[in-house]
Amino acid sequence: MKTNPRILSVLDLHAQPERICRIALAMATLQQAALSFVTLFDHPTDRPDPQLSCHEQFQKAEQEQQHTLHALLVRLDAEQWPHRLLCGDPNAEVSRAAQEWQATLILADTSTARTLYNGWLPWHTQPVPLPCPLRIINPSPALPCWIRHLWGQIRIVKQHPTRI
């Protein structure tokens, strides 16, 4: 029995999250796949607030990141898909999220893929094998024609679903 694909899309809210989000939505539509979005939460802030304790700063930053993720998905009409923040070692957390969600594919941009491979402290942790393939999305700003077509921006004659 063939199961439907399940895509876990890792969004870097500091890079080009719209691009990865649109590609994930297009792939889920083409493959009739289930889709889930996660983002990595790495540190509270570069400008600490002296009025708040470390714990309060962390909570505030986490809430802001949650809000940013939700606002992105609302803007792209994708808030109905599951989404959450992951805290901790990037490789281990993405691996755990993919296993829990039974993902068949992980999507990430080049920067996130490098973080998954190296970790934030590469000398401190060992890489955890990912439970499914990782597809790395080119950070080029031009979207492939089959994705633009799905988003109603142009009409195309031929689709290239293997190009990303």
Measured distance CA(119)–CA(64) in Å, rounded = 23
pLDDT for 54: 73
Q: What is the pLDDT of residues 115-134, one digit of tens each?
A: 887 765 555 667 778 899 99
pLDDT at res. 89: 81
3-state SS, residue 80:
coil
- Across residues 104-122, what is the average pLDDT? 79
pLDDT band at 160 (very low <50, low <70, confident <90, very high): very low
Name the CATH code of domain 6-150 (choices 3.40.50.300, 3.40.50.1460, 3.40.50.620, 2.30.31.70): 3.40.50.620
Q: Name the DSSP letter for residue 5.
A: P
User: Which pLDDT value is given to residue 164?
Assistant: 38
pLDDT tens-digit map of 25-82:
988 988 899 999 999 876 655 666 778 777 787 788 888 888 988 999 999 888 889 9
Q: Comparing 164 with 129, which gets the higher pLDDT? A: 129
HEC readout, 91-147: HHHHHHHHHHHCCCEEEEEHHHHHHHHHCCCCCCCCCCCCCCCEEEECCCCCCCHHH
Question: Global pTM?
Answer: 0.76
80-104, pLDDT tens digit by residue? 899 998 888 888 889 999 999 999 9
